[in-house]
Chains A and B, each alone.
Chain A
Amino acid sequence: MALKLQDGSRVGVVGGGPAGSLFSYFLLTLAQRMDVRLQVDIYEPRDFTRPGPGGCNMCGGIVSESLIQALAVEGITLPGRVVQRGLDSYVLHTDDNEVRIETPLHEMRIAAIHRGGGPQGERRRRWGGLDGYLLGLAQELGARVVRSRVRDAGREKERPTLQADAARQAYDLVVGATGVNSSRWRLLEQLGLRSRPPRTTKAFITEIDLGEELISRHFGTSIHLFLLSVPGLDCAAVIPKGEFLTVCLLGERIDETLVQRFFDSAAVQRCFAALPGPQAQACRCKPNINVREAERPYADRVVLIGDCGATRLYKDGIGAAYRAAKCAARTAVLEGVSAAAFARHYMPLYRSIVRDNRYGSVMFGSLHWIKRMGPLVGGVLQMAGKEQTRPGAARDMSIVLWDTFTGSAPYRDIVLRALRPRFIRRFAWETLTSMRSRERGAAVKESSDHGIGTIGS
């Protein structure tokens, strides 16, 4: 029997993070276009207007430029109360140097947001979080928000069921959008998913309360990225927002010692040197991050989207949630809700995210390796730093760095770009010359003198 959504069909969405809300938004938009009336329940216990961890789906809070553009085409314009700062550049810090990389358009195309009501101690309550805004969009289209956690799931005849506080509800489609931070995999198994769960690792986030003026003066509209030789630390980012700086550390084993080592490193000390006094950390958390996908994200009348399925390795997780949510919604409305429909129409996108992450792993692996080799880091910085002094010249390194850190391009494109003979030749040359001038003791100063790079070829 073909499993299709029809007039009056009921859809249960577990989780009202970006994946669940965007799924509901696109499902209802498409269903309206097809003249099908659906009843959508989104289960979400968090109150996204609350400051602190209770109202927050812990993340760095960067909305990538590709997602900003895609949402604009979809008719979703993020309002000022959600976007706390528009960002237009990156500053890459290494142990002893830094380089700034800007977009050729000099346009704010990256958004810094809070996910919920902001960190604990949020003084001015003028900000709203991204998750609350997206959930509101789904509600405007008619989705009903059930403010409870789903505790139990199952199957009743052919239909999946969900149980929160009240009676068990049966649905024609259940969408798992639980992320990897607040639900056990068993809940999704109860829906009939028999597959390997996603693998996660711990990350670390803290919010530093500096106030808007200091942040604007010292951090401007740039994300600060740190590639340091601190063992166990893959990458760290300092993201300026309205009143707070978000500091976000990624790596395989993040613990207190590693966090302290990061704050004590010369690069961080340099970056924070001009700030008055010790900075108060307003909010801290150690969220899980998905580093390997769930194996089979669908069954009859069930589909997983967002972090509890597959996401983009380390970057643009919200963008990946958007793509998966929309693809699953399209499949459900236009193709049906059977396992076969999801296998045929949802899995190609899912697999493309997973495949691209393989390139991502290679890329982050190489970055790891480069980080350990001082001369190579010197080559990266010198190449990017020089690119801006020659107007019209190729911006190979700047583009690779921009795409790597903004999450704007597929990892595959970045790897292929970095494997071009011209790139390798130039990189080798810059590494050699930076080694030579380092020996002469002058190198570091030179590349920081022209440390402003602009991307674009």
Chain B
Amino acid sequence: MESAPLGREYSDGEVICRQGEEGDRMFVIQDGQAEVTFREEDAEYVVGQLGVGDLFGEMAVFDKQPRSATVRAKGRARILTLDKHGFLQRVQEDPSFVFRILQMMSSRIRHLDAEVARLRRLVSERDVPAS
């Protein structure tokens, strides 16, 4: 599908939002892909990949905390920014407006649950002394 010329174009590796920064906007990928990374101490881990139609940056809008992760364009990408004020006005008028975001967040939690379980298993396997 040819992408719509909406939003702003980011070049490969360009930061769309950065972990730790304040932010009150959300983003939707119009075209291309983005990579989500999490920095802990000196290491950076890739924690997710995003594609067309995916929305991100919503956590800072809901919990007013700094950005939880960094998102960079992977290849060339087009990103549309969503204003917090307009978003909250829509939610006020139509609470079902958040359905899709809830759906997306719950699928991310499912994914995280599976990941936590996998890591626990790895840790417990490593902790079992070799016989």
Using CB atoms and an 8 Å cutoff, list the residues of chain A in contact with chain B. Answer: 30, 33, 66, 68-70, 72-75, 77-83, 85-86, 105-109, 111, 323, 326-327, 330, 349, 352, 408
Contact = CB atoms under 8 A, between A and B. Distances in A.
B99 A72 contact: no
B96 A108 contact: no
B100 A79 contact: no
B108 interface: no
A72 B80 CA distance: 9
A73 B87 contact: yes
A81 B80 contact: no
A107 B30 CA distance: 12
B94 interface: yes
A68 B80 contact: yes
B8 interface: yes
Given A33-B99, A105-B81, 8 more contacts: A69-B83, A72-B28, A75-B53, A77-B53, A80-B4, A105-B8, A108-B8, A109-B7
Contacts of B3: 79-80
B4 A86 contact: yes
Nearest to A30: B96
A73 B4 contact: no
**Most central of A73, A77, A108 by chain B CB within 10 Å:** A73
Contacts of A80: 1-5
B20 to A, nearest CB: 21
Given A79-B1, A105-B81, A327-B94, A68 B6 contact: yes
Given A30-B96, A69-B80, A69-B83, A79 B90 contact: no
Given A69-B87, A105-B81, A83 B6 contact: yes
B49 to A, nearest CB: 18
Contacts of B80: 68-69, 72, 107, 109
A330 B94 contact: yes
B99 A108 contact: no
Contacts of B97: 70, 73-74
Contacts of B100: 73-75
21 contacts: A69-B82, A69-B83, A69-B86, A69-B87, A72-B80, A73-B97, A73-B100, A73-B101, A74-B97, A77-B30, A78-B6, A79-B2, A80-B1, A80-B3, A80-B5, A107-B7, A107-B80, A109-B80, A111-B4, A352-B93, A408-B86
Contacts of A85: 5
B90 A70 contact: yes
Interface in B88-123: 90, 93-94, 96-97, 99-101
B4 A83 contact: yes
Contact of A106 (B8, B28, B90): B8
A198 to B, nearest CB: 22
B55 interface: yes
9 A-B pairs with the lowest CB-CB distances in the bound complex, closest first: A80-B2, A83-B4, A86-B5, A72-B28, A107-B8, A86-B6, A80-B4, A69-B82, A108-B6
B60 interface: no
A86 B81 CA distance: 14
B90 A78 contact: no
